[in-house]
């Protein structure tokens, strides 16, 4: 008996064994209503530099820039979206693409502009990744990193045994006894 190609088991297997180009296609995110009308597309694959709005979770409503796209885990890391660990360190929060909507696209790549059929004249300097004319580029806010924890002691390796050295004669022993131990 053959199982259906649409069975849950085969669908899960397809997710875990997908090639990188298939993972990219699976990580498409819907565009906001403004962008849908402009680009005539419902969703596009997510890319570093895009600005997204979080739709669910504890950061709902926040608009942040995509810092990293993790295709292996089907998740995204956003700027300024972090959690505190038990050791009071800040750790980036991984968010699934199903919880996001794109509000601004990163159109600095000519290939992406060509795929979306956008003329170079229609792209704003912000979308290109440049600063608008007459304004100074924004400097990235300094990232405050917590003080590094004390390094853990290195695991001890078993030492090789060394050959025993001949014992030195006591200081009050005669000189002849010292010569006898050296000759032996």
Give the DSSP letter of residue 42.
S
Could you tell me the pTM of the whole model? 0.66
How far apart are the C-alpha atoms of 50 and 116, rounded to whole Å? 14
- Looking at the structure of the chain, the number of domains it has is 1
Mean per-residue pLDDT for 82-107?
Answer: 94
Q: What confidence category does residue 128 fall into, taking pLDDT thresholds of 50, 70 and 90?
A: confident
The domain that holds 38 is classified in CATH as: 2.30.30.30
How far apart are the C-alpha atoms of 156 and 93, rounded to whole Å? 35
4 inside domain: no
Each residue's pLDDT tens digit, 50-88: 999 999 999 999 999 999 999 999 999 999 999 999 999
- The radius of gyration computed from the CA coordinates of the chain, to the nearest angstrom, equals 31
Mean per-residue pLDDT for 119-136?
Answer: 75
105 inside domain: yes
Q: Which of 66-75, 114-123, 164-173 has the lowest mean pLDDT?
A: 164-173
End-to-end alpha carbon distance in the chain? 86
175 inside domain: no
Nearest Cα to Cα of residue 108 among 65, 79, 148: 65
The most confident of the ranges 32-41, 145-154, 164-173 is 32-41
How far apart are the C-alpha atoms of 153 and 38, rounded to whole Å? 58
70 inside domain: yes
76 inside domain: yes
149 inside domain: no
2 inside domain: no
94 inside domain: yes
- Residues of the domain holding 116: 28-122
Task: Kindly provide the residue ranges of all beta strands, DSSP E only, lying in 31-132, ordered along the sequence.
Answer: 43-45, 51-54, 63-70, 75-84, 90-96, 100-104
Mean pLDDT (the chain) is 82
Nearest Cα to Cα of residue 98 among 22, 50, 48, 27: 27
Structure tokens at 180: 């006898």
Greatest C-alpha distance within the chain: 105
């Amino acid at each position: 008996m053959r199982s259906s190609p649409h069975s849950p088991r085969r669908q899960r297997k397809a997710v875990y064994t997908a090639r990188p180009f298939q993972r990219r296609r699976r990580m498409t995110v819907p565009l906001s209503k403004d962008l849908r009308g402009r680009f005539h597309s419902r969703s596009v694959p997510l890319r570093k530099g895009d600005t997204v709005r979080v739709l669910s979770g504890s950061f709902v409503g926040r608009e942040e820039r995509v810092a990293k796209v993790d295709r292996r885990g089907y998740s995204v890391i956003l700027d300024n979206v972090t959690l505190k660990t038990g050791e009071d360190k800040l750790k980036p929060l991984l968010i699934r693409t199903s919880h996001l909507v794109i509000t601004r696209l990163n159109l600095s790549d000519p290939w992406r502009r060509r795929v979306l059929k956008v003329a170079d004249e229609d792209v704003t300097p912000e979308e290109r990744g440049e600063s608008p004319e007459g304004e100074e580029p924004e400097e990235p806010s300094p990232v405050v990193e917590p003080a590094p924890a004390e390094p853990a002691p290195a695991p001890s390796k078993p030492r090789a045994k060394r050959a025993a050295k001949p014992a030195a004669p006591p200081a009050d022993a005669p000189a002849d006894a010292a010569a006898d131990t050296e000759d032996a």
